[in-house]
Amino acid sequence: MSLVSSVPNMMVMSSQPVPFHKALAAHGLQLRKGAAHTLQVNTGLLCNLACRHCHLDAGPARTEVMSRRTMEAVSALARRVPFRSVDVTGGAPEMVPDIDFLLGELGSLVPERLFRTNLLALEEHPGLIDVAAAGGWSLVASLPAVNEAQVKSLRGEGVFSGSIRMLARLNEAGFGMGGPLKLHLVSNPAGAFMPPAQASAEKHFRRELTDRLGIRFDSLFVFANMPLGRFRSWLERSGNLHEYLNCLRKRFNPGVVAGLMCRDIVSVGWDGRLYDCDFNQAAELVAQGPAHVSELMAVGTGAEIATGDHCYACTAGAGFT
């Protein structure tokens, strides 16, 4: 797993916006499905937070959550297809009814298991810590920054202190302590700019979290904010959309296209609809082939992947692979 980091400009762009599919064609590239290794499950748009950088526009007022019936269809797919990893995300999956059922079903079917959390939702549903530990789930925890003011600007008052409390609690439960229960952190920039290099960012996080606060974690991933959902709305309101999209386009790196995560993922939306990735779900770009997870009997290769201008965020610098 690797995410976007900051590297020198990889592509000189004209002053006119270049659609992503044309940028691919200019380098003789196509974006098509390879062998499916990962099952990504977005359990819904309900979330206890309404983060400014959310690409899904998730929040407390959203009612879209995955039903038990769709969960059963997801687990049936995992029985049909030998996925190597499963990635459960949201919204805040902790808030979804029957989430324990989904984790229990998938935990016995897929070797590598990732559960994404914003930490505050996990604090509100602490029983899931034991469920995740018993099922051998690795946690991917979103923590935009180790600066309280930056976290407040993105997520609101009190979120930073709550996140630190939950990280300490996860350490007590064995996550991030060097054993099988992994704890990975994910960071985004606080505004319309690219993230720092991953190595330097991780060093900074370890200094602030581990050295100062005693919080341990296995790794940090940094990535560019997706120009989708609530973050795109903020870009438009603040007058930053054109500049931010141009920044992403100028950093287009054709060398990362072959390893993009959308090539080996089957992404299932909260209602069972199929996408090439979670970002295409936010952009409402459905995948080629069967429309619903219950209709997918086998996963083939070669299908063209739907793209949009948000795809530049996955191909900026070191890429989102």
CATH number (domain holding residue 285): 3.20.20.70
**Structure confidence at residue 16 (pLDDT):** 60
**Structure confidence at residue 10 (pLDDT):** 37
Whole-model pTM: value is 0.91
- The answer to the question of residue 272 being in a domain is yes
Written as one letter, the residue type at 235 is L
Positive or negative torsion for Cα 242, 248, 249, 250: positive
- The answer to the question of residue 225 being in a domain is yes
Q: What's the order of all strands across the beta sheet hosting 112-117?
A: 219-222, 183-187, 138-142, 112-117, 85-89, 38-42, 265-268, 274-275
- The answer to the question of residue 150 being in a domain is yes
- The answer to the question of residue 27 being in a domain is no
- The answer to the question of residue 16 being in a domain is no
| Both structure tokens of 97 | 């009814």
Containing structural domain, residue 104: 35-231+261-303
- What pLDDT digit, counting tens, does each position of 192-220 carry? 888 888 899 999 999 999 999 999 999 99
Number of domains observed in the structure of the chain: 1
**Structure confidence at residue 17 (pLDDT):** 73
Contact 42, 90 (CB under 8 A): yes
- The answer to the question of residue 153 being in a domain is yes
- The answer to the question of residue 202 being in a domain is yes
- The answer to the question of residue 146 being in a domain is yes
Mean pLDDT of the chain: 92
**Structure confidence at residue 321 (pLDDT):** 57
User: Buried b / exposed e across 10-44, counting CB within 10 Å, b at 16+?
Assistant: bbeeeeeebebbebbeeeeeebebeebbbbbbbbb
**Structure confidence at residue 319 (pLDDT):** 66
**Structure confidence at residue 320 (pLDDT):** 66
Q: Which long-range contacts (CB under 8 A, 24 or more apart) does 17-25 make?
A: 17/245, 17/246, 17/249, 17/309, 18/249, 19/309, 20/307, 20/308, 20/309, 20/311, 20/312, 21/307, 23/249, 23/252, 23/312, 24/254, 24/257, 24/307
DSSP secondary structure string for all residues of 162-195: HHHHHHHHHHHTTTTSSSSS-EEEEE--SSSSPP
